[in-house]
Amino acid sequence: MAGYLVLHNSGDRPATLTDAASPAFARVMLHRTVITDGQAGMRHVDSVELPAGGELRFEPGGYHLMLMQRRGDLHIGDRVELTLRFADGSTLTAPFLLKAPYQQ
């Protein structure tokens, strides 16, 4: 499963996303899909920079949170909590809605 989100940095300093976690999954990793000449691959990324006043999109075909080893049953429409960790030690927790992959 993949997590998609849009992050806004309204501050005047850049932020660096380094990690994510969720009570619903044993492991969450930052990944990026790379499609080269029709060949899709996935890269693990250690951190993603969010510029001051900027926006960072996690969306299909690009950055995504890779959600692994779900801890219990999940159903479309459920809400799952995810916590994002930044390099300065701050965290951000938000609910994520579980959708079927063809629901935009």
Which of 6, 10, 12, 40 forms a contact with another protein (CB under 8 A)?
A: 40
**Contact criterion met (CB below 8 Å) for 25 and 2:** no
Which of 11, 35, 49, 51 forms a contact with another protein (CB under 8 A)?
A: 35
Q: Any contact of residue 71 with another protein (CB under 8 A)?
A: no
A 10 A CB-CB count for 54 gives 13
Nearer to another protein by Cβ, of 34 and 52: the residue is 34
**Contact criterion met (CB below 8 Å) for 100 and 42:** no
Kindly give, in sequence order, each residue whose CB lies less than 8 Å from that of residue 4, ignoring residues fewer than 6 positions away: 58, 59, 60, 64, 65
Which of 2, 5, 48, 74 forms a contact with another protein (CB under 8 A)?
A: 2
Binding site for another protein (CB under 8 A): 1-2, 27, 31, 33, 35, 38-44, 60-61, 64, 66-68, 100-103
